[in-house]
A and B are shown apart, each in its own frame.
Chain A
């Protein structure tokens, strides 16, 4: 679900989840699912911040 999201998209998704959870009416079984989604998003961002694909590229003119 989290592949190829931009940081902006991932963060917006996180904020949406937070908003849903903040509203105390959330069901217990839903909560577990939401928290899992949120943690996946966070992990995705953390990994992306430090991923080591690619390298320095130089363009000379």
Chain B
């Protein structure tokens, strides 16, 4: 029996594979698992698997080399999903056998559109389920989701804020900074509920924080869920059915600033969406500013009204003064009338005078004294 060296056999295998697969590429559908990314030397090792029920019916190792590593970044940027275990992808591969490392698929390209399609399908299903199973809190009106939460009125003034965000994150910093440096000098009381806000179980962690908020003794005016933007943001937690359901029925208005400009997540639709942490803060500040404007408006109105009322009262007073002045005896005497008096009592009727009476006739500039010599009464 003539044994051959292992390397000879592996070389033979390699040759066979090359003869069969050289220059050929395949589009395949598979689930990925055991994903290990090495960002510094830009490699990614993983497994491609296919399941049938609970059984794995196919499995093979795969690798992204440095020249195709950008495909992963492209995928994450456009699908807003982390390239991680459990997701299904469609990708272009080449079969390669290496004498030392064995059989591998070199991944050359990922079909992002396929994943986007899957996400969209999943999303539609989730949205339909939200409407169907939460009749009390979610309704679809002209393409817009009306929820119990996003129909709650925002208080006239927002000061007590529950902030759900990741510790030491850009989102946290931007939000706090915008509020703290607001140009009106409004004060805010912020209680922070810090948690991881992306990654596989982020939706559960966020739900945990919302539960915690509900248990607090103090009442919050609003809840802000924020995180910074950037290309690497993970969209998936905010597409989760349970989180969306909880937001939709939550009794405190929720404002989201979860930082994606192109897409609106399901969580956003169930709440009030303001895109970025800074924008959420700005909306809160503006809300309070409008309240202040209203009360300043009332203040101005009161001032105007008061001076109007006073002015009107003054006018009436002036008119009365003029009337009183015009009807004074002095004014009347000056006009050429005279006053007849007996013993300093005004005589207003000829009837009361008898012939021979001594009377005083008062002019504006002096008095004359006379005796009544004749009296004629008017007929009427």
Contacts from A to B (Cβ < 8 Å): 7-8, 11, 14, 18, 21-22, 24, 26, 28, 31, 35, 38-39, 42, 45-46, 48-52, 54-61
How far, in angstroms, from A59 to B299 measured CA to CA in the complex?
40
B101 is an interface residue with CB less than 8 A from chain A:
no
Main DSSP-derived SS at the A contact region = helix
Known: A45-B295, A50-B186, A54-B189. A60 touches B167 (CB 8 A): yes
Q: Quick one: CB contact mask for B197-218 with A, threshold 8 Å, 1 for yes?
A: 0000000000011001000000
Query: Do A61 and B195 have beta carbons less than 8 Å apart?
Result: yes
Query: Do B187 and A42 have beta carbons less than 8 Å apart?
Result: no
Which chain B residue shows the least CB distance to A51? Answer: B187
Q: How large is the interface on B (under 10, 10 to 19, 20 to 34, 35 or more residues)?
A: 35 or more
- Nearest CB of A to B291, in Å: 7
Known: A11-B295, A39-B299, A46-B295. A56 touches B187 (CB 8 A): no
B148 is an interface residue with CB less than 8 A from chain A:
no
Query: Do A49 and B288 have beta carbons less than 8 Å apart?
Result: yes
How far, in angstroms, from A59 to B209 measured CA to CA in the complex?
10
Residues of A within 8 Å of B195, CB to CB, are 61
Query: Do B194 and A59 have beta carbons less than 8 Å apart?
Result: yes
Which chain B residue shows the least CB distance to A24? Answer: B309
Query: Do A21 and B190 have beta carbons less than 8 Å apart?
Result: no
Query: Do B298 and A42 have beta carbons less than 8 Å apart?
Result: yes
- Nearest CB of B to A14, in Å: 6
**16 new A-B contacts at CB < 8 Å, known A8-B155, A18-B301, A18-B302:** A7-B155, A8-B156, A11-B295, A28-B309, A28-B313, A31-B309, A38-B302, A39-B299, A42-B295, A46-B292, A46-B295, A48-B157, A49-B288, A55-B189, A56-B192, A59-B191
